[in-house]
Amino acid sequence: MRKTHPDKLYTHLEKTGEDEVRKRLAAGRVYGEDKVALVRDWLDRKAQERASVVEREKIEIARDAATAARDAADAARSANTRAKIALIIAATTAIALIIDLVVQWNQTNGGQIP
């Protein structure tokens, strides 16, 4: 039995592609008994690499979502501040209007309340 050099086999597997390697392995002894363990190891590493990529993408999506949530919260705080200012202006205007009405009433009626 000839000893297989892992690097050469891995290079061959990379060229062949993961899907085709899986098909060949499932079909039977295409790679020979001396290579099956190395082929399975290579396939396992490919699966782990994919899982790592997916995990990094999930983390990036979560970070983007957190940033969007912070931005939305900042916008909401800003809108609340503007709403409070508008309410203060409206209340001040209402008070000024009431004062003006009282002053006009007094001027028209000589300060007499009916």
- Locate the domains of the chain by residue range: 6-109
* Environment class of 13 (CB within 10 Å of its CB; exposed 0-12, middle 13-18, buried 19+): buried
- Tens-digit pLDDT profile for residues 18-38: 999 988 888 876 777 778 888
pTM higher than 0.75: no
pLDDT bucket at 4, cuts 50 / 70 / 90:
low
Cα Rg of the chain, angstroms: 38
CB 71 within 8 A of CB 53: no
Contact at 8 Å (CB) between 17 and 49? no
